[in-house]
Amino acid sequence: MTDPEFSEIIFAIKKLGADKGKHYSSGSITELELDEEFIKLGVTPPRVLRQWLLLVNGIALPATDLYGIGTRYKSSNIVKSISAQNKYRERGLLPIGGDGCGNDYVIEIDNGENPPVVFTESSESWIIKYIVASSFTQFLKFVIHESKDPESQEWPFDKKFMMLNDPKIITTAYPMPWDA
């Protein structure tokens, strides 16, 4: 991931949130505050997630809620979400977003600097159902796509769309969404 690419993603997401009037962050977070929260959790966040939180720190978009630290809403707060779901901590998972129906998008804490994003379902004990993006950065791109056109239904179930936009997805060991 290049810094200009990440800056473009952040700009697009902030614009989508501002357009919809749904930014729910309680404000920016400092590096010290971020470190303190993750020390309490006993985890080291991947570099790209850390960068994301320092720049955006949570936003609600039409297709997805992207969690933050210290956000007003318990269900959209990474620390409160992982504290409420001990299964996440036990499995080394970190919730980073939600689908608005009580399910989460999560990353494995120890899976690189820009880890894949997977989907967990609340009705199935928060187990990993399938992968939704080969990296956190790609996940953000898909969120932008879906937020611009929530009716598109391409991400993540349309195999052709996914292979065109995220060919690395099939190199992971996770179940594929089009097989779910």
| Strand-pair category, 93-98 with 59-60 | unpaired
Helix (H, G, I), strand (E, B) or coil at 11: helix
At residue 150 the predicted structure's pLDDT band, cuts being 50, 70 and 90, is confident
Rounded distance, CA 92 to CA 50, Å?
Answer: 17
Please tell me the predicted confidence (pLDDT) of residue 107.
94
Helix (H, G, I), strand (E, B) or coil at 81: helix
Cα 158 to chain center, whole Å? 19
HSE-up of 95 (CA within 13 Å, CB side)?
35
For the chain, the domains span: 3-179
Which class does domain 3-179 fall in? alpha beta
Please tell me the predicted confidence (pLDDT) of residue 94.
92
Residue type (1 letter), 39: I
Please tell me the predicted confidence (pLDDT) of residue 1.
47
Give the mean model confidence (pLDDT) for residues 46-63.
84
Chain segment 95-116, per-residue pLDDT in tens? 999 988 889 999 988 888 899 9
What letter would DSSP give residue 121? -
Give the mean model confidence (pLDDT) for residues 45-60.
86
pTM metric for this prediction: 0.88
Helix (H, G, I), strand (E, B) or coil at 72: coil
Residue type (1 letter), 123: S
Please tell me the predicted confidence (pLDDT) of residue 73.
65
Q: Which of 1-15, 73-87, 108-122 has the highest mean pLDDT?
A: 108-122
